[in-house]
Amino acid sequence: MLRRSISFLAAVLICSAASTNITEHAFATSGTFNVLSLSVNGLPAILDPFGASGAEKDLNTKYMGVALSQYDYGVVNVQKDFSYHTTLYHHDNHPFRTEFSGGVLFGSGLNTLSKYSWIDFSRIRWEWCSNDSGYDCMGFTFMRVRIDEGVYIDMINLHADAGIEPGDEEARRWNIRQVSEYITANSVGNAVIVFGNTNSRYTRAKDDLDLFISQNNLADAWVQANKGKVPAAGTDAIVCPNESPSNISCEVVDKVFYRGSRVIDLNSTGFSYDTARFLSPEGKMLTDHHPVRVDFEYALRNGLRQSDLYGGPHGTWFNDLPLVHPGSNPSLIALCGANRLDGLILKLDSGLVTHGGSGGDCYMLLLGPEEYITSVKLCLGQKDEHTRIF
């Protein structure tokens, strides 16, 4: 089944064959936003390692929800959102929020609160977990966030295995690898931000954060903010104080990794521990993690534009932008199918790309050297409860 290929087709044909005509539509070419990773410490009181009562935890969650609204965060990934989820959402005012996944032992505790809409949301369980330091098999979530028209960023929230027992370390390495492989399979050609609780430190020799850098071409916003200095593996942990840190030199397990794409130039412009914004009236930390905020700026690169994306969460995502050479012109497009669109063939100067199945008949359109496609009309519907293009 073909999924969202037509929106990409429109984008590529407009961009590669007629970049001078993009001005016919007003695109926002740059902008700013921020993201926040926040562990809300939502375990039920009976499981709280610090002995806080249910009433205390509920009140702390209220304060966190108020702060999320007060400081107008762009996209917030929360972890450990279990027993006090209703309180958090009641006091937050973000227009787009994921649905509750369930309490402890049933849910992942992962949720997203956002000023921006998204498509293709998924919850994924860890393939490998350890109970050496207690049950904490959470997983990760994936969504494609629409910052502006044609500006989509794949965002991942995660909560990796905790603990430093051998089983924990092995499970955590597999957790990071699972996310890395998911990005490789599902975010080809896309801008990506991974932010959440990695339960990993650079100082731990057996953690594997470098995988995001080497395999997915992601950058660590904290490392960049510290002028590229990476703590040496096997050295003492650079632990942050149990109060608002005076600087960002200490390391926490809550990380923000990111990359841009051929369409979007994405850069971190600021890194902060927002602990001071999440304190009780008595000045105490509301949660056992330091909230991590990263400010971003983006700009659309010259010569390429992406349309809004259309379709549903079913099928296999693809993006051929990494294969399209600058100035490559389309010479043929074929749409294949019967009652529904099933396949796409696109011939460019740089080569032939095909996606989807082989069902139905193919209808070809040959394009001359000066011809290009300016728009594509999509018809969306449901077949067997899956979104299809008709």
Could you read off the pLDDT of 204-255 as tens digits, one per residue? Answer: 999 999 999 999 999 999 999 999 999 999 999 999 999 999 999 999 999 9
Question: Cα dist. 29→11, 97, 264, 300 in Å?
Answer: 15, 26, 9, 5
CATH number at residue 131: 3.60.10.10
List of residues 6+ apart from 51 with CB closer than 8 A: none
Same structural domain, 286 and 366? no
Please check whether residues 55 and 122 belong to one and the same domain: yes
97 and 232 fall within a common domain: yes
Q: Do 181 and 90 share a structural domain?
A: yes
Are 39 and 18 in a shared domain?
no
pLDDT for 181: 98
| Number of domain units in the chain | 2
* Residue 319 and residue 170 share a domain: no
Same domain, 145 and 13: no
How far is the C-alpha of 100 from the C-alpha of 119, rounded, in Å?
Answer: 17
Of 269, 300, 331, the residue that ends a domain is 300
Q: Report the pLDDT value the prediction gives residue 310, as an integer from 0 to 100.
A: 76
| Burial class of residue 177 in the structure, from the number of CB atoms within 10 Å of its CB (0-12 exposed, 13-18 middle, 19+ buried) | middle
Query: Looking at the structure, do residues 296 and 377 belong to the same domain, yes or no?
Result: no
Q: What is the pLDDT of residue 281?
A: 97
Of 300, 320, 335, the one marking the end of a domain is 300
Can you give the residue range of the structural domain that contains 371? 5-22+308-389
Q: Are residues 226 and 317 in the same domain?
A: no
Asked whether residue 217 falls in the same domain as residue 314, the answer is no
Per 3-state DSSP, the chain is made up of helix, strand and coil in percentages (nearest 5) of: 20, 30, 45
Q: How far apart are CA 255 and CA 157, in angstroms?
A: 10
* Predicted TM-score of the model (pTM): 0.90
Please indicate, yes or no, whether residues 110 and 236 belong to a single structural domain of this protein: yes
Q: Which residue has the tokens 């949301």?
A: 121
Give every residue of the chain whose pLDDT is below 70, as ranges: 1-27, 132-135
Looking at residue 233, its amino acid is A
